[in-house]
Amino acid sequence: MNNDMLDTDNPQDLLKRLLDQSPSPEVRDVITRSFKSFIHAIAPIAPRLTGIKGIQTAEGAELVALITEEALKRDPIHSKRTLLKLQGHTAFHHQLHLSGGAYSTSQVADLLKISAEAVRKRVSRGKLLAIQLGDGHGFPVWQFDDGSVVQHFDEILGLLKNTRPVGAVQFFITENEVLGKTPIDALKQGSETELETVRLLARQWRQHIAR
């Protein structure tokens, strides 16, 4: 499908072009069903969309995911696996947002007073935690404190080796019963006793993920 065909701001135009270029009735049915599902999902919240400046913002991206999730629910033959995956994705990004959000690569470079390339090298060496956000990377803000990386953060991140970034985020920002707080808060408060507990929890987390 030619990308030039998608170069339009008019949704009616886009739908017509897609249908005209579709090779079979089955494909046209999928396209029509998808549009209807999205329209039904968007209609109830349309009046509240005024403040969204674009889907490139974190709020806009989360909104698009929520709309897509709702659209899948309204499609009578949607894939439950796809819906569950999207619900997990949306829940994770909501959790990340509540924990403070994420910096871009350039923001981290400015914060640490290093180059963007140096930031990427720290990620590859396991010194910084980065997650995929759209076409780039996002760096959870809580791994930084007073213009530097939280003390012992890279050590604990190393203990979580082979854990996916999403899993590492969940480890750091999920309150732990033993600590009575999140591991990242324990690191920031600097107690040696709590640091030992966080080390133990990180090893246990890695072993659990490896099963």
Same domain, 82 and 145: no
Q: Are residues 107 and 81 in the same domain?
A: no
Segments of the chain with pLDDT less than 50? 1-2, 5, 52-57
148-187 tens-digit pLDDT: 999 999 999 999 988 888 889 989 999 989 999 999 999 9
Statement to judge: residues 185 and 130 lie in one domain: yes
Given this model, what pLDDT does residue 56 score? 45
Q: Are residues 78 and 146 in the same domain?
A: no
Give the structural domain span for 127.
102-210
How many other β-carbons are positioned within 10 Å of the β-carbon of residue 105? 19
The pLDDT of residue 125: 93
- Both 62 and 15 in one domain: the answer is yes
Q: Are residues 114 and 197 in the same domain?
A: yes
Considering its fold, how many domains does the chain have in total?
2
* DSSP per-residue string spanning 127-177: SS--EEETTEEEEEGGGEETTEEPTTHHHHHHHTTT--HHHHHHHHHS-BT
One domain, residues 64 and 16: yes
* Shared domain check, 192 and 118: yes
Does 88 share its domain with 158? no
* Per-residue DSSP letter, 102: E
Select from 47, 81, 98 the last residue of a domain: 98
